[in-house]
Amino acid sequence: MAETTKTKLGFDGVDGGLGLGYMHRLNNFVLGAAFDANWSNASGKASACGVDSVGNKISMHYKARLKNSLQLYAKLGYVIRETVMPFIGLGWDNSQWERSLNVVNEDIGYRAYQKKTQRLNTGLWKFGFDVLAAKNVIVGFEYTGTLGKNKNHTVPIANNVGSVNTSFKPQYNKFALTTKFIF
């Protein structure tokens, strides 16, 4: 269908949250588990214009927005000189995504719109480093990525003309500056 497409590949927005974790030190190795709750307004969009099978001009606009995520993961780190700890993490992410699809046929005047909000499960991985800034304060930098399976999104078109199918892959990657308090 598409003659021209435009996609905003990156997500724009702000993401922040709170986390709880437990770390146990074995010599210089550190093992632990953590739970993070994030709130976000990050979104991305795509659009396409083209001609359908009978020559009608069609435009399609798709938008995805991450609303929040719950993350549970295991963490492995190594303490260097009692001040720096590089780490890796592996776990599970459950995120709430809001997706919308708007299809317009300018020649015959039909329009289809659907908005869908759903929680999706994906795998989670992260790596980064923490630096001891004060006795009970750690600052750090981390990269978190999620990777899930494609989810189909079908919108029926009015007057039983047919439907439009799109695919969505719930993947979100972020760089974050962190502040942690230890007890």
> Hey, what are 78's tokens?
């190594």
The more confidently predicted of residues 113 and 159 is 113
Q: How far apart are the first and last CA of the chain?
A: 59
Cα–Cα distance, 58 to 98 (Å, whole number): 23
pLDDT tier at 106, thresholds 50, 70, 90 = confident
> Which pLDDT score, from 0 to 100, does residue 102 have?
83
Whole-number pLDDT of residue 176: 92
Tell me the three-class secondary structure of 59-116, residue by residue: EEEEEEEEEEEEEEEEEEEECECCCEEEEEEEEEEEEEEEEEEEEEECCCCEEEEEEE
Identify which of 136, 135, 143 has the alpha carbon closest to the alpha carbon of residue 180. Answer: 136
- Its domain, for residue 167, covers 2-181
pLDDT at 87 over 50: yes
What pLDDT was estimated at residue 108? 72
| pLDDT for 51 | 73
The tokens 């459950």 sit on which residue? 94
Residue 22's pLDDT is what? 96
Helices H / strands E in the chain, number of each? 0, 11
106 phi and psi angles, rounded to 5 deg: -75, -25
Residue 157 has pLDDT above 80, yes or no: no
Task: Output the pTM of the full model.
Answer: 0.81
Q: Please give the tally of structural domains in the chain.
A: 1
Q: For 6-53, what is each residue's pLDDT tens digit?
A: 555 555 677 889 999 999 999 999 999 999 999 988 888 888 787 766
CA 97 – CA 22 distance, rounded (Å)? 29
Encoded tokens for 26: 């074995």
* Tokens 């700890």 found at: 85
pLDDT averaged over the chain? 85
Question: Which is nearest to 101 in space by CA: 87, 111, 90?
Answer: 111
Give the CA radius of gyration of the chain. Answer: 22
